[in-house]
Amino acid sequence: MKRILLASLAATLFLGACKKDKDNKPVTVTVDGKQTTLNVESAMYSRFTEGGIRSLTVTAVSADQQSRFIIALYMAGAQGNNVDAKTYPVRRVAGKSFEATVYRMERTSNGAYVATNHVGTDGEIVITKGDNGAITGTFNFTLKDESGLTKLAPMVLQDGKFENVQFKLAN
C-alpha cells in the first residue's frame, strides 16, 4: 500500500508540475475560520492491479499560493474508471491512513513546495458524483502535526465544496 501511495503521489506531483488544470473551478473552503479558494493543479485517477485498488489523487494550491494540498482517495477493485460516490473517512490509526489521505506542503522563499508534517487525522471527504471523468462533493477535515518534531498548529478545513473537478486517467 505504501508503494502504491508513493507512486500515486509521485505521478501526481510530476504531472501537476507540468501545467495548471484550467478546466477546473476553484474549490471553496474555510481554512481556520477564513473563507478562501483552492485552485486545482491536477487530478489523476490510477488503477493498481497488483494491489487490487484504484486511487484518485488531487493537488490544489491555496489562493495565496503558500500551501499545496495533496488529497488521495482509495477504492477497492482495480477495474473501472469511476470514483465511488460515498463518504471517505479521513483518519489515521497508528500512523496509517485508510480510505483518504491528506498532506500539506508549504512554499519556501525560493518558490518550491516542501513537505510539512501536517497530515489529515480526522474528518471526511464526501463524493456525491464521480463519473464521466469528474467528481463533485464536499469535505471537512483537520490537519495535525503527528511528527512530534515540529510544533505546527492544527489546521481546520471545513465546508469545502468542489464541483465537476475533471480528472485524467493515468492507466
pLDDT tens for each residue of 67-78: 999 999 998 887
Overall number of domains in the chain: 1
How far apart, in Å, are the Cα atoms of 93 and each of 97, 126, 130, 146? 7, 20, 27, 11
**Per-residue confidence at 148, pLDDT binned at 50, 70, 90?**
confident
Asked whether the whole model's pTM tops 0.85, one would answer no
* Domain span at 52: 2-169
pLDDT at position 20 over 80: no
Grid cell in block for residue 67: 500551501
Query: Rounded CA gap, 102 and 5, in Å?
Result: 11
